[in-house]
Structures are given as structure tokens and as C-alpha cells.
């Protein structure tokens, strides 16, 4: 049987990397030949998790040949997936996003739940399969949940995420509050990140009402720290808009301490944001907004 490649989305976040690995550990224990891979460089947050738990990063996957067996985690939209995904053999999906722009050639195992993190679904899959969770896998799933739910503060967080994290915390042998805050803070250390990388590190592309939209997000402990670089950020966004024919690029700098975001909207459809937020110098302060999935994406969908 051919090996199956497991991966999360492009511009991978901690959930996309860690869930691919935790699922690979599970499928291996069930006797399958699988390999966790990644569709981009690790961000600083994920690097911190790997350093803390002494975990080695998976291999970069550039594209897949037609007929390659794959499992998608933490995403389902082809616009966010590996090059060649349209002709791959998708065997399974484990995800917590809305299903969109996704189809398969063959019947598929789908584990899709409206929870805060793919790691939470994986925790349930370990239990459903009666497989003991080893320390590495617990560390991976715990890191993913802490990251995706902003330590339970995101509106995407559910009781299932909290329950899973509390169990995983014991196996991983760390204090979740302490480890989680250090993890999130590690991802906000952006001074030596170029403006180009800043707008790409957590960017996702969506097709909304026939328009090409990118929503990018960075976490920070001080919004001004990011926005003092507005000129350079705008230059890179405008370049991305031109190069990729985007209608809208929405960039959010999210204050993980206070749970707010500063929005920066550029592109021909940027005025759509003005239906909700008055933009000044292309910017608006969005009080209480932290989640792309539950807040930024609906904002664009409702207004575009
Ligand atoms: Mg993700
Ligand atoms: Mg996720
Ligand atoms: Mg995220």
C-alpha cells in the first residue's frame, strides 16, 4: 500500500503542524504507513513548542502527484492546500473549519466538528480508537489547542477544547497557563520578521462571492509594535494584491492580552469593511475581535 501524506494548510500555524504529527502518530500505531508533512516554514510559536518538548519538525511537501494518498487536517479549502490537491486521493479529513471549495473523487472519512482546534478532534480520535496518548502526541495536541483557542479566550473555544486540554496537560507534564502564555508570546516576537513574512505567516485565501480575498493575522502583545511598520506592511500587501489579483487583503494585528484587533484593509473591495468599521488611513480598531473564522471572515462575507 502506498504511503499516505498528512498535512495542514499552507502558511502553517501550530495546529496545522502539530495535528498532522499527532494524527501521523495515531495512524502509525494503528498500523498504517503515513508521514506527517508541512506546507511551509514553522512560525516562531511552533518553533517554541518544538524546542520545549524536543520535537523534530516534519518534512516540507512542495506538491503532490496525481493519485497520491493524502489526509488533510486543519483545513479543507483547496485554495489553502498543497499544489496538486485537486488530483490527489483524499482519504480522510480532520478539520474544524466550515466546509468550502472541497470535493473528493472517492468516499472519504470525515471527522469535522465545530470545535476550537483540530487537536481537540484528534484527542477524541485517540480515545475512540482506544490508543494511549504518548507524551509527544499530548504535547502536540496541547500546543495546538492553546494556540488556536488563545488559551481558551477565543470565541471559537468550546467546552470540548477545555476538557481535552486539561487531560493532555497531565500527560504532557506542563502547567497549561504558564506554558500556553509562553507559547503565545513566542509567536509575537516579530521584530526580526520582514514585512513580507509578516503578511504571509498566517494568511489564508478565500473565494467569496467570486472575489479573491486574503485574510492575514499576526498575534502581538502591543498593536503599536506591529502598526509602527504600517508603511512597509502596506507596500507588501499592495504588491501581493497586484501579483495575485486580489480584491481584498485584510490584515489583522491581534492583541492576545486584551483580545482586540487592529484591522488594515486594502484592495478594490476594501470599502466593504466600511459597512461595519470606519477606516481611517486604511485602518480600524475592532474591539473584541480575535478570530478569523468566527469574526473576520463573517465580517467580509456579510459586507462584500
Ligand atoms: Mg490553522
Ligand atoms: Mg486549527
Ligand atoms: Mg489560527
In this structure, the answer to whether residues 23 and 161 fall within a common structural domain is yes
In this structure, the answer to whether residues 231 and 177 fall within a common structural domain is no
In this structure, the answer to whether residues 153 and 44 fall within a common structural domain is yes
How many Å lie between the centroid of ligand 2 and the Cα of residue 13?
8
Q: What percent of the chain has pLDDT over 90?
A: 98
In this structure, the answer to whether residues 109 and 239 fall within a common structural domain is no
How many Å lie between the centroid of ligand 3 and the Cα of residue 57?
19
23-35 burial: b if 16+ Cβ within 10 Å, else e: bbbbbeeeeeebb
Instruction: State pTM to two decimals.
Output: 0.93
In this structure, the answer to whether residues 97 and 203 fall within a common structural domain is no
Q: Could you report the per-residue pLDDT of 16-67, keeping only the tens digit for each? A: 999 999 999 999 999 999 999 999 999 999 999 999 999 999 999 999 999 9
How many Å lie between the centroid of ligand 1 and the Cα of residue 15?
5
- Count of domains forming the chain: 2
Ligand nearest to the Cα of 9, by number: 1
How many Å lie between the centroid of ligand 2 and the Cα of residue 62?
21
Domain range for 49 is 4-186
pLDDT at residue number 101: 86
Q: Could you report the per-residue pLDDT of 154-195, keeping only the tens digit for each? A: 999 999 999 999 999 999 999 999 999 999 999 998 988 999
Count, residues in the chain: 304
How many Å lie between the centroid of ligand 2 and the Cα of residue 131?
22
How many Å lie between the centroid of ligand 2 and the Cα of residue 74?
5
In this structure, the answer to whether residues 149 and 219 fall within a common structural domain is no
How many Å lie between the centroid of ligand 1 and the Cα of residue 13?
5
Query: What's the chain's average pLDDT?
Result: 96
Give ∠ CA 137-259-179 in degrees, rounded to 5: 30
How many Å lie between the centroid of ligand 1 and the Cα of residue 232?
26
How many Å lie between the centroid of ligand 2 and the Cα of residue 281?
31
pLDDT at residue number 173: 97
Closest CA to 155 of 298, 288, 258: 288
CATH number at residue 289: 3.10.310.20
How many Å lie between the centroid of ligand 2 and the Cα of residue 19?
8
CATH number at residue 98: 3.90.1640.10
Say if residues 152 and 161 touch (Cβ distance below 8 Å). yes
Q: Which three cell numbers stand for residue 16?
A: 496545522
Ligand nearest to the Cα of 120, by number: 2
pLDDT at residue number 181: 96
In this structure, the answer to whether residues 120 and 268 fall within a common structural domain is no
Ligand nearest to the Cα of 12, by number: 1
In this structure, the answer to whether residues 90 and 232 fall within a common structural domain is no
How many Å lie between the centroid of ligand 3 and the Cα of residue 112?
17
What is the C-alpha to C-alpha distance for residues 213 and 89, in angstroms, rounded to an integer?
Answer: 27
Domain finish residue from 142, 158, 186: 186
Instruction: Kindly tell me the number of DSSP H helices and DSSP E strands found in the chain.
Output: 10, 11
In this structure, the answer to whether residues 12 and 84 fall within a common structural domain is yes
How many Å lie between the centroid of ligand 1 and the Cα of residue 241?
22
How many Å lie between the centroid of ligand 1 and the Cα of residue 137?
17
In this structure, the answer to whether residues 97 and 24 fall within a common structural domain is yes
In this structure, the answer to whether residues 10 and 66 fall within a common structural domain is yes
pLDDT at residue number 300: 97
Sheet holding 59-60, edge to edge: 59-60, 34-38, 4-7, 69-73, 89-95, 109-112
Per-residue pLDDT band for 2 (boundaries 50, 70, 90) equals confident
For residue 1, is pLDDT > 90? no
Q: Could you report the per-residue pLDDT of 82-129, keeping only the tens digit for each? A: 999 999 999 999 999 999 989 999 999 999 999 999 999 999 999 999
Q: Could you report the per-residue pLDDT of 201-251, keeping only the tens digit for each? A: 999 999 999 999 999 999 999 999 999 999 999 999 999 999 999 999 999
Domain finish residue from 186, 210, 242: 186
Domain finish residue from 186, 204, 231: 186
pLDDT at residue number 252: 98
How many Å lie between the centroid of ligand 1 and the Cα of residue 119?
10
In this structure, the answer to whether residues 98 and 20 fall within a common structural domain is yes
Ligand nearest to the Cα of 117, by number: 2
Amino acid at each position: 500500500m502506498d504511503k499516505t501524506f498528512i498535512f495542514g494548510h499552507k502558511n502553517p500555524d501550530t495546529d496545522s503542524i502539530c495535528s498532522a504529527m499527532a494524527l501521523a502518530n495515531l495512524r502509525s500505531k494503528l498500523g498504517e504507513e503515513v508521514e506527517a508533512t508541512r506546507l511551509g516554514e514553522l512560525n516562531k510559536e511552533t518553533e517554541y513548542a518544538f524546542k520545549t518538548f524536543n520535537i523534530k519538525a516534519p518534512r516540507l511537501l512542495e506538491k503532490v502527484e496525481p493519485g497520491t494518498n493524502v489526509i488533510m487536517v486543519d483545513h479543507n479549502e483547496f485554495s489553502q492546500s498543497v499544489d496538486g490537491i485537486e488530483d490527489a486521493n483524499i482519504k480522510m479529513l480532520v478539520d474544524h473549519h466550515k466546509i468550502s471549495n472541497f470535493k473528493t473523487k472517492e468516499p472519504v472519512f470525515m471527522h469535522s466538528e465545530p470545535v476550537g482546534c483540530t487537536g481537540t478532534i484528534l484527542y477524541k480520535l485517540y480515545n475512540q480508537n482506544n490508543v494511549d496518548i504518548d507524551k509527544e502526541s499530548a504535547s502536540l495536541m496541547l500546543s495546538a489547542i492553546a494556540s488556536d483557542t488563545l488559551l481558551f479566550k477565543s470565541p471559537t473555544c468550546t467546552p470540548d477544547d477545555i476538557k481535552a486540554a486539561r487531560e493532555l496537560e497531565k500527560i504532557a507534564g506542563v502547567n497549561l497557563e504558564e506554558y500556553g502564555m509562553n507559547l503565545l508570546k513566542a509567536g509575537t516576537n516579530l521584530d526580526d520578521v520582514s514585512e513580507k513574512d509578516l503578511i504571509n505567516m498566517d494568511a489564508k485565501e478565500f473565494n467569496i462571492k467570486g472575489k479573491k480575498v486574503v485574510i492575514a493575522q499576526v498575534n502581538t502583545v502591543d498593536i503599536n509594535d506591529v502598526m509602527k511598520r504600517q508603511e512597509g506592511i502596506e507596500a507588501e500587501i499592495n504588491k501581493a494584491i497586484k501579483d495575485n489579483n486580489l480584491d481584498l487583503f485584510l490584515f489583522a494585528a491581534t492583541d492576545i492580552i486584551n483580545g482586540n484587533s487592529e484591522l488594515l484593509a486594502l484592495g478594490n473591495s476594501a470599502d466593504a469593511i466600511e459597512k461595519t468599521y470606519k477606516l481611517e488611513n486604511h485602518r480600524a480598531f475592532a474591539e473584541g475581535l480575535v478570530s478569523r473564522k468566527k469574526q473576520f471572515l463573517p465580517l467580509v462575507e456579510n459586507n462584500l
